[in-house]
Structure 1
Amino acid sequence: MTTRIRTGCMSDLPPPRDPGLQFLKWLVIALTATLLAGFVVLVFLFATRFPNPQAPLPAAITLPDGATARAVTRGTDWIAVVTDADEILIYAPDGETIRQRIAIE
């Protein structure tokens, strides 16, 4: 009596199922889905929550004679210019009218 033994290659056998690898696979899928959902939420919030653009800055801001601007910032209805003489000039939105002068001590 002859016994036959199947001698196929290893690819004929199903891969072994490791529960740890299955868990890791689903964990990676869940984390990828979470990352994509978070990215979509961030893009949505950036697109909807930023305020509407304000009116454009004036073409020129008239500084007092001899003053040089070091920094400029803008509020809702004012423009502030810090000069090299350590003074803050608060302008109206037109950039011509000085509303207030503040000396930096």
Structure 2
Amino acid sequence: MNTPELTPDREPEEPANLKFLRRLVTVLTATMIAGVLLIVALIVIRFYDVPPVLPQSLSLPDGAQAVSFTQGPDWYAVVTDDNRILIYDRITGTLKQTVTID
């Protein structure tokens, strides 16, 4: 059986399957890196938004304390500690609706 001699200036040739596997791993690695960078960029773009405009002052009914706050396009709502949701008009700041939570 003849085996080629290894000399320092000549490396053995790789089998075709091994070349294919190495290229496949390289392409998949590059794809994963590009995908992670794309996801990070999309998250940054999505959450790099102008902070919401909050009302400067809010008049709650007597004895009510705010527990949470949420807002929509033309309204905002305050949940109070006495189980009520107070819905205010965003432009005028007037109370539009009161919802009692049972």
TM-score, normalising length from structure 2? 0.69
Q: Is the 8 A contact 2:88 2:97 kept in 1?
A: yes
| Structure 2 residues without counterparts, runs of 5 or longer | none
Query: What is the letter of the counterpart of residue 69 of structure 1?
Result: A
Matched, 1:72 2:58: no
> Match for residue 5 of structure 1?
none
The correspondence of residues 1-105 of structure 1 with structure 2, limited to 5 A, is 11-39=8-36, 41-42=38-39, 43=41, 47=45, 53=50, 56-94=53-91, 96-105=93-102
- SS for the counterpart of 1:63 is coil
- SS for the counterpart of 2:8 is helix
Deviates more, 1:74-83 or 1:54-63: 54-63
Q: Which has the larger radius of gyration?
A: 1
Q: Is the 8 A contact 1:61 1:95 kept in 2?
A: no
Deviation at residue 35 of structure 1 after TM alignment:
2.5
Percent of aligned pairs with the same amino acid: 41
The alignment yields a C-alpha RMSD, in angstroms, of 3.1
Query: What is the letter of the counterpart of residue 77 of structure 1?
Result: D
TM-score, normalising length from structure 1? 0.67
Q: Structure 1 residues 34, 97: closer, same or farther in 2, change over 3 A?
A: same
| Structure 1 residues without counterparts, runs of 5 or longer | 1-7
Distance 2:80 2:92 in 1: 15
Q: Is the 8 A contact 2:75 2:89 kept in 1?
A: yes
